């Protein structure tokens, strides 16, 4: 079994791997219709020269550099070069509002901004002009910004302007594991983003723990990662970038959600880090596609789910073996090809996974491992492992050298090198969540007899009704979205006698219903009694599987889907409850009066 060395910092880890891999392909992106690679040797040379160029324009050790770019090879190269120059990366979502950009610029005190395109640069400029902080902007692509009130540098020119070598920069990487590597701002499900200070050792702890688990349970070979989630998110930053670097793997950058399925078939990845929302969407698409085919495919899907359910429950019978063999032979290979044909595991994190969704993919032969973490823990804390026995209602055992315990009130506490050093320039919040070396996660959970962690809900998101009962909203919302009629949902009912909900109907189901019932698919449909009755049937089916206190008594249709663009979802596809309460609060309250 391969293991990772105890590296002193992330930059050294990268240069060591680059020296070992040489001309082997490292970073892949699609250009002019073809996948093209940057080798490890070329990447190391670019990082060394860019780091030297950053120093040449006045950046000094400890300076913060904001990085605003979509996923692409230059993101990874810039991140590594910032750290190799002794600076601190501040990854930032391309979808941030001007307000969020301005907050991060001002709070981090960023001295420079690296931005990928002129379009993004123009969107950033109002936030930059509101602050006196940034002194320079570096464009990955050539850009003309007119009379920009900031020094503008060309990314490629900084690289071409010197002949620094990887060997020279590797020798200069003298920072230690406790030194600050990056400040990652939380996506703000409940308010203004906070800057989490991740040190080199925190991310290295995660890399080592994840690589060890992969090697021990799945085998460590010539791995291929497909990077899809935003690299400005801690989960992808560690899992989709630094874990593959530590493992000497190749990284392909997906072209976006609409092309993700095609990319998986082309790239044939071995490992992917994903979020539950993606798999809720894929589950719906796969189910509908197979049901439309009808006949044998539909029967095989039903049989696969039945066998998978029995296997998970430990009730598989001798008479089920022929059916299981049929599914394994005729059905699962076709599904595997949809994911590229050599996928070892898809690792889900960032938000709780509805167990039924995980069981669905497990039944189809996709190894689906649910993990758990927080930006404040670099971010992976635990993950399901085949050797420990996969349970879909569990997030598995903690990573190596990670302590987890449950406080008296049920809160999950974490200790180890993975824990952040605090929030940037926010001592009050730091003191609130870091106590005696323990990270107070704000999540509620329990540990089973085999050391596997189970998450019940967010402590701060728990709904407490007027009788003092606790309701976990994410569980109920997840069950609602299992219904084919419902795409998204948010429940409410704090200090109220029962639960109410905002429901986003599934667009494809709505179109089919409207066509079948001779209705126009427009704004008036939300008030159509028959349409609402059909949606109520979906709520009723969900309520049958909920306890009395969890059941949805009344609901309202959403004005529009929850999206990143309308600020009702975070870039990691979690709903922003405070934004939804702001939009729908009065109408939800009216449900109790009506």
Query: If you ran DSSP here, which 8-state letter would residue 366 be given?
Result: -
- What pLDDT shows up at residue 319? 86
Query: If you ran DSSP here, which 8-state letter would residue 242 be given?
Result: I
d(CA 214, CA 62): 34
d(CA 378, CA 400): 14
| pLDDT > 70: percent of the chain | 97
d(CA 261, CA 8): 38
Residue 523 burial by Cβ neighbours in a 10 Å radius (0-12, 13-18, 19+): exposed
pLDDT tens sequence across 475-497: 899 899 999 999 999 999 987 88
Strand, helix or coil for residue 51: helix
d(CA 562, CA 480): 15
From residue 80, give the alpha-carbon distance in Å to each of 10, 51, 92, 112, 524.
Answer: 8, 8, 15, 15, 53
368 dihedral zone (left: phi>0; alpha: psi -120 to 50; beta) = beta
CB 535 within 8 A of CB 501: no
Ramachandran angles phi, psi of 284, nearest 5° = -65, -45
CB 486 within 8 A of CB 581: no
d(CA 182, CA 196): 8
CB 89 within 8 A of CB 69: no
Predicted TM-score (pTM) of this structure = 0.83
pLDDT tens sequence across 519-563: 888 878 988 999 999 999 999 999 998 888 899 999 999 999 999
- What pLDDT shows up at residue 97? 81
d(CA 529, CA 578): 30
Q: What is the DSSP string of 1-40?
A: -------SSHHHHHHHHHHHHTTSEEEEEEETTEEEEEEH
d(CA 212, CA 2): 8
Using only C-alpha atoms, the chain has a radius of gyration, in whole angstroms, of: 25
From residue 93, give the alpha-carbon distance in Å to each of 193, 232, 402, 420.
Answer: 11, 6, 29, 20
Kindly list the strands in the beta sheet with 151-154, ordered across the sheet, starting from the edge strand earlier in the chain. Answer: 151-154, 136-139, 112-115, 64-68, 88-92, 180-185, 195-199
Query: If you ran DSSP here, which 8-state letter would residue 193 be given?
Result: -
- What pLDDT shows up at residue 153? 95
Query: If you ran DSSP here, which 8-state letter would residue 328 be given?
Result: I
* CATH fold label, 463-593: GMP Synthetase; Chain A, domain 3 (3.30.300)
- What pLDDT shows up at residue 191? 55
The encoded tokens of residue 585 equal: 């609060």
Which parts of the chain have pLDDT scores under 70? 1-2, 146-148, 187-191, 457-460, 468, 594
C-beta contacts of 17-21 below 8 A and 24+ residues apart: 17/245, 17/246, 17/248, 18/43, 18/44, 18/166, 19/44, 19/166, 19/170, 20/248, 21/248
Q: For the chain, give percent helix, strand, coil, nearest 5.
A: 45, 20, 35
The tokens 């540098």 sit on which residue? 153
């Amino acid at each position: 079994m391969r293991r990772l060395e105890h590296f002193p910092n992330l930059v050294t880890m990268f240069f060591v791997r680059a020296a070992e891999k040489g001309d082997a392909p490292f970073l892949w992106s699609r250009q002019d219709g073809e996948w093209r690679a940057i080798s490890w040797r070329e990447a190391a040379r670019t990082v060394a020269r860019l780091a030297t160029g950053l120093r040449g324009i006045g950046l000094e050790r400890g300076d913060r550099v904001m990085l605003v770019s979509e996923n692409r090879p230059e993101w990874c190269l810039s991140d590594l070069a910032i750290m190799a120059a002794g600076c601190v990366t501040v990854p930032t979502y391309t979808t941030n509002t001007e307000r969020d950009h301005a907050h991060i610029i001002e709070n981090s005190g960023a001295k420079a901004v690296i931005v990928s395109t002129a379009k993004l640069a123009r969107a950033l400029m109002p936030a930059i002009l509101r602050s006196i902080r940034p002194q320079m902007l570096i464009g990955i692509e050539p850009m003309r910004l007119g009379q920009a009130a900031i020094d503008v540098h060309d990314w490629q020119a900084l690289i071409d302007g010197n002949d620094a070598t990887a060997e020279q920069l590797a020798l200069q990487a003298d920072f230690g594991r406790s030194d600050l590597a990056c400040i990652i701002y939380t996506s703000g499900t409940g308010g203004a983003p906070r800057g989490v200070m991740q040190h080199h050792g925190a991310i290295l702890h995660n890399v080592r723990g994840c690589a060890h688990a992969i090697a021990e349970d799945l085998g460590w070979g010539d791995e291929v990662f497909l990077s899809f989630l935003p690299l400005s998110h801690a989960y992808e930053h560690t899992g989709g970038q630094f874990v593959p670097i530590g493992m000497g793997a190749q990284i392909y950058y997906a072209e976006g959600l609409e092309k993700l399925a095609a990319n998986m078939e082309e790239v044939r990845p071995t490992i992917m880090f994903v979020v539950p929302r993606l798999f809720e969407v894929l589950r719906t698409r796969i189910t509908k596609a197979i049901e439309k085919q009808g006949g044998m495919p539909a029967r095989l899907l039903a049989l696969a789910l039945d066998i998978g359910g029995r296997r998970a429950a430990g009730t598989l019978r001798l008479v089920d073996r022929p059916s299981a063999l049929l599914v394994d032979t005729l059905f699962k290979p076709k599904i595997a090809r949809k994911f590229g044909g050599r996928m070892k595991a898809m690792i889900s994190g960032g938000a709780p996974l509805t167990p039924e969704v995980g069981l669905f993919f497990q039944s189809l032969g996709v190894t689906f491992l649910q993990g758990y973490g927080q930006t404040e823990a670099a971010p992976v804390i635990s993950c399901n492992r085949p050797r420990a026995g996969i349970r879909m209602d569990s997030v598995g055992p903690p990573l190596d050298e990670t302590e987890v315990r449950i406080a008296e009130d049920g809160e999950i506490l974490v200790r180890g090198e993975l824990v952040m050093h605090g929030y940037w320039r926010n001592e009050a919040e730091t003191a609130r969540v870091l106590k005696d070396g323990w990270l107070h996660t704000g999540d509620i959970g329990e540990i089973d007899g085999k050391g596997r962690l189970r998450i019940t809900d967010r402590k701060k998101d728990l709904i407490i009704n007027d009788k003092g009962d606790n309701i976990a909203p994410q569980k109920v919302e997840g069950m609602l979205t299992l219904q084919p009629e419902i795409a998204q949902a948010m429940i409410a009912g704090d200090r109220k006698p029962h639960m109410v909900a905002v429901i986003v109907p599934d667009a494809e189901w709505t179109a089919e219903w409207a066509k079948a019932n001779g209705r126009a698919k427009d704004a008036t449909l939300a008030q159509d009694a028959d349409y609402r009755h059909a949606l109520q049937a979906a709520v009723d089916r969900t309520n049958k599987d909920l306890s009395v206190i969890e059941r949805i008594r009344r609901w309202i249709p959403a004005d529009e889907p929850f999206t990143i663009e309308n600020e009702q979802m975070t870039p990691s596809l979690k709903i922003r409850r405070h934004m939804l309460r702001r939009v729908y609060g009065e109408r939800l309250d009216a449900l109790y009066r009506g």
